[in-house]
């Protein structure tokens, strides 16, 4: 068979290619720019996550040393001097061990919570539950962390006690705020948990008589890893309040505070129940 392909005239295909490629060029350019922007955002997010994880490891290794040392010392004392310690002294050392374990658990909870939030892995599980029952449970759990003479109180306003929120996230918020109130308050101080439910809103307040927050640093209070100057000698990760704020906002609520240095702090969580005026704070 004779091949006639070389005998046929060859069309100039370059103008055809240019004409065809020019049609979607603008839309393709916009598409590529959009992809480029998205990739840059993803890359920046990955860098931020990497930075956060590095900071988390550093914090964990630093913050675990004190409670681990306390556990080791108390356990060693009980082991070597058990026959010479009275019941009261043994229970004192056991309480130190429990407190140290709670400190490490709180640190781990903060680190894991932040990682879940940053990775978008937090899912809401909204349901109805009794707010006063949860409040009492949290205070009972926190009792082991109290300093000498510290007292924890709960007051509730309103006839209704049922709310519709994510119970686990609310418990984490309350645990964090009450733990801070205990930690930053002196021996013999009072920490008060106040809850209020009306037709329009549900509000929680945690009040303490602690060291307070310096006014010049209050604007940075909810930043990740932030520690106020007057709190840097007290153990903490600087993550708790940032996590509380983000959990509260996930549940469509808001968080605010009022504080004066050396005069205590009040943190307020507010969640809407129905449409209406939400400007009535707890008295």
Tens digits of per-residue pLDDT, 252-266? 999 999 999 999 999
> Own/partner pairs for 35-39, CB < 8 Å, 24+ apart?
none
The phi and psi torsions of 272 (rounded to 5 degrees) equal -75, 145
Domain ranges of the chain: 37-118, 126-272
Place of tokens 């009072």: 190
Q: Which residues of 22-53 are buried (b: 16+ CB within 10 A; e: fewer)?
A: eeeeeeeeeeeeeeeeeeeeeeeeeeeeeebe
The pLDDT of 137-153, averaged and rounded, is 92
Do the domains 37-118 and 126-272 sit in the same CATH topology, yes or no? Answer: no
The gap from C-alpha 225 to its chain's centroid, in whole angstroms, comes to 11
pLDDT at residue 21 is higher than 60: no
pLDDT at residue 2 is higher than 70: no
Please give the share of the chain, as a percent, with pLDDT higher than 90: 42
Q: What is the pTM of this model?
A: 0.70
pLDDT-derived band of residue 238, with 50, 70 and 90 as boundaries?
confident
pLDDT at residue 157 is higher than 50: yes
Q: Decide: 187 and 193 in contact? Cβ < 8 Å.
A: no
The pLDDT of 58-85, averaged and rounded, is 82
Query: Comparing 29-43, 82-96, 141-155, 208-222, which segment has the lowest mean pLDDT?
Result: 29-43
pLDDT-derived band of residue 175, with 50, 70 and 90 as boundaries?
very high
Q: What's the fold here for domain 126-272?
A: Heat Shock Protein 90 (3.30.565)
Place of tokens 């100039």: 12
The whole-angstrom separation of Cα 147 and Cα 114 is 28
The pLDDT of 36-59, averaged and rounded, is 69
CATH class as words, domain 37-118 = mainly alpha
pLDDT-derived band of residue 8, with 50, 70 and 90 as boundaries?
very low
Mean of all residue pLDDT scores within the chain: 82
Q: What confidence score (pLDDT) does residue 241 get?
A: 93
Q: What confidence score (pLDDT) does residue 274 get?
A: 57
pLDDT at residue 128 is higher than 90: yes
Q: What is the 3-state secondary structure (H, E, C) of the chain?
A: CCCCCCCCCCCCCHHHHHHHHHCCHHHHHHHHHHHHHHHHHHHHHHHHHHHHHHHHHHHHHHHCHHHHHHHHHHHHHHHHHHHHCCHHHHHHHHHHHHHHHHHHHHHHHHHHHHHHHHCCCCCCCEEEEEHHHHHHHHHHHHHHHCCCCCEEEEEEECCCCEEEEEHHHHHHHHHHHHHHHHHCCCCCCEEEEEEEECCCEEEEEEECCCCCCCHHHHHHCCCCCCCCHHHCCCCCCCCHHHHHHHHHHHCCCEEEEEEECCCEEEEEEEEECCCCCCCCCCC
Q: What confidence score (pLDDT) does residue 9 get?
A: 46
């Amino acid at each position: 068979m004779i091949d006639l392909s070389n005998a046929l005239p060859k069309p100039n295909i370059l103008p055809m290619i240019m004409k065809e490629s020019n049609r979607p060029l603008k839309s393709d350019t916009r598409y590529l720019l959009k992809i480029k922007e998205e990739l840059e955002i993803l890359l920046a997010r990955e860098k931020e996550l990497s930075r956060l994880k590095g900071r988390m490891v550093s914090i964990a290794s630093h913050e675990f040393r004190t409670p681990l040392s306390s556990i080791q010392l108390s356990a060693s004392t009980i082991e070597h001097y058990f026959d010479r310690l009275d019941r009261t002294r043994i229970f004192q050392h056991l309480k130190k061990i429990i407190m140290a374990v709670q400190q490490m658990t709180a640190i781990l909870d903060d680190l894991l919570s932040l990682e879940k939030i940053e990775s978008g892995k937090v899912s809401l599980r909204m349901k109805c539950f009794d707010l006063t029952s949860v409040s009492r449970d949290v205070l009972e759990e926190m009792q082991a962390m109290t300093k000498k003479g510290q007292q924890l109180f709960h007051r509730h306003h309103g006839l209704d006690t049922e709310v519709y929120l994510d119970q686990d996230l609310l418990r984490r918020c309350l645990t964090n705020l009450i733990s801070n109130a205990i930690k930053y308050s002196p021996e013999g101080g009072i920490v008060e948990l106040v809850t209020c439910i009306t037709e329009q809103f549900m509000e929680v307040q945690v009040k303490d008589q602690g060291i307070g927050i310096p006014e010049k640093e209050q604007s940075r209070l909810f930043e990740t890893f932030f520690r106020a100057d007057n709190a840097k000698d007290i153990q903490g990760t600087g993550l708790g309040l940032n996590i509380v704020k983000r959990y509260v906002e996930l549940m469509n609520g808001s968080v605010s505070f009022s504080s004066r240095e050396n005069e205590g702090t009040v943190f307020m969580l507010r969640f809407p129940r129905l449409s209406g005026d939400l400007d009535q704070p707890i008295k």
